Chains A and B, each alone.
Chain A
Amino acid sequence: MTDFGGESASDLATFWDEHIRSRVTHHSELSHLTPSAREKAVERIDEDRAAMRPAVQRADRTLISLRNSLVPISKLPPEVLLKIFASCTDASPPRQNGHGLRLDLGWINVTFVCRQWRHLALACSGRWRHIRISIGDKWTALMLERSKPAPIVFAVDYIETSRMSPERWYRLSDLVLQHVPRMEELNLRVNFHPAIYDFARRLVATPKPLLTGPHAQINGNLRPSSPTTLAPEFTGCETLRLRHLVLTNIYPPCTPDILRNLVVFRSTGLVLNGRGMTSSTPLSRRPFLKFLISECVYPVRHIAITALLSGYLAWSNSECKTKGQRLSVWSQV
């Protein structure tokens, strides 16, 4: 039996008997009615038509669903349809066009095609896990909910947030913070503003046991006397999963705990002006570090990084280059 959206062909037969046939058959003897009885009969027919209309529409939708289930695209296995959705996600992520004036739902539009596609997309939490706040508060909340229990990749971009009011930031941070323990990646690129900074600090300070890659960049209005630092909560046991650390205009936390399992470490931003510089010595002997770009560590001669594929260190008059797995630095400071 074909079942679709809770209804089936046998349901339709029952539906016809119960809701349609009885209403139609009792109007069969209408030929010998008096004029007043005719008026009443017309009223009854109109009432019956009105009563039947929602039921007929429901039956029509069920038949359309059955029809949809027979077309070639619906004959694909669910996992293949999900693969198509995944390709749509890659090709058309949701975004705002024209500086936030118009929302383009991108791949989410597949959930408006038909019931089968919506059922399938809603049942797959992984499809909803890439979340940018540019899609607006309503869709951010929906995607956070639909992505449960999958780990989430969360992005905040300064282009999208330049017009956001502090109130909206506080509202959004309250919403997002509930889901931070599921955060696998965090891409934070914001302009400095007290409300935004508060949001970023709370975000960073909440435990994120799944986090493998924070990308954080805070632009503008950083006072040289108190440049941004990563919250201390980044250190400790939860950094064991940390694989990617990309920081701009933020002090690099070069502690062995932070660096332990890093594969990518990028720390740039000349605004630091030498404050918070740390020795590059902790970078050596990192077993997994493959990509290293830093303008924020004091170079030390000949750092041995066994897995290094590409390295670049810059500070004042120093220069460096990689030779195989050995990063050689000549400092003229």
Chain B
Amino acid sequence: MPTIVSVDDSTVPGEGSSRLLLLVSSDNKHIVVEEDIMSRSRFISKQVEGFEATSQRHAILLPFSSFVLNKVIEYCSHYRGYYLLEDDPDAAPPGRSPVREWDQEFLDVDRNMLLRIIKAAHYLEIKSLVGSCARAIADMIRGKTTEEMREILGVENDFTPEEEHSPSSKCTG
């Protein structure tokens, strides 16, 4: 759970129609963003509902860097006002994540950055972004041999010889 600190109203402008949120990244960068942009995040929406219940404005501390946070904000800004089925809490989850051309370009980043974005998207409960990242990671390993997959993901073979060649093995240690 994030730490929530009280902030001065002057720090967070936004009385009236376009309210602003103050997001604080793990590297202590303060980022002001319109609430409307971040409404795609279920996590942020729930935080804002909490603010309304207590009539107090807060900054939201997030456990990832400003670089990652800015990428997420860029995604949310791009889809501001768009209806994406995956983000509709009342809709049945789609069987597979749709391919969106813009997402593919947006997620054309190195592996570690992609993993940071998907982790942040999961934390912020932005299902459409989690789905797009998952698809991008799946594309990275699609059609690759097991060895190539391990190299891409940075993991090593920890199976016993028997486990490795037995598809029914459950790896009992």
> Interface on A for B, CB 8 Å cutoff?
5-7, 57, 61-62, 64-65, 67-68, 71-77, 79-80, 83-84, 86-88, 90-92, 108-115, 118-119, 122, 138-139, 142
Contact = CB atoms under 8 A, between A and B. Distances in A.
B160 A91 contact: no
Interface string B97-126: 100000000000001100110110010000
Contacts of B146: 109, 112-113
A6 B172 CA distance: 7
B134 A119 contact: no
A73 B154 contact: yes
A80 B137 CA distance: 11
A68 B134 contact: no
A109 B149 contact: yes
A226 B122 CA distance: 57
B103 to A, nearest CB: 12
Contact of A68 (B112, B122, B155): B155
B12 interface: no
14 contacts: A71-B155, A75-B115, A77-B122, A80-B122, A87-B135, A87-B138, A88-B138, A91-B139, A92-B138, A112-B167, A114-B156, A118-B169, A118-B170, A138-B167
B89 interface: no
B100 to A, nearest CB: 14
Interface residues of B, number: 41
Interface string B129-171: 0110011011101111110011001111111100110011111
Given A5-B173, A87-B138, A72 B154 contact: yes
Contacts of B96: 86-87, 90
Contacts of B170: 118-119, 122
B143 A92 contact: yes
A138 B167 CA distance: 10
The 6 closest A-B CB pairs, nearest first, are A6-B173, A87-B138, A64-B158, A83-B134, A5-B173, A65-B158
A27 to B, nearest CB: 28
Contacts of B137: 84, 87
A108 B45 CA distance: 37
B48 to A, nearest CB: 24
Interface string B57-86: 000000000000000000000000000000
A84 B138 contact: yes
B96 to A, nearest CB: 4
A61 B164 CA distance: 12
A76 B119 contact: yes
A33 to B, nearest CB: 37
Contacts of A90: 96-97, 138
B112 A72 contact: yes
A115 B145 CA distance: 16
A142 B170 CA distance: 12
Contacts of A5: 158, 171-173
A5 B163 CA distance: 12
Nearest to A66: B158
B130 A68 contact: no
Contacts of A86: 96, 134
Nearest to A104: B143
Of listed A72, A75, A142, residue having the most chain B CB within 10 A: A72
Contacts of B139: 87, 91
B107 to A, nearest CB: 12
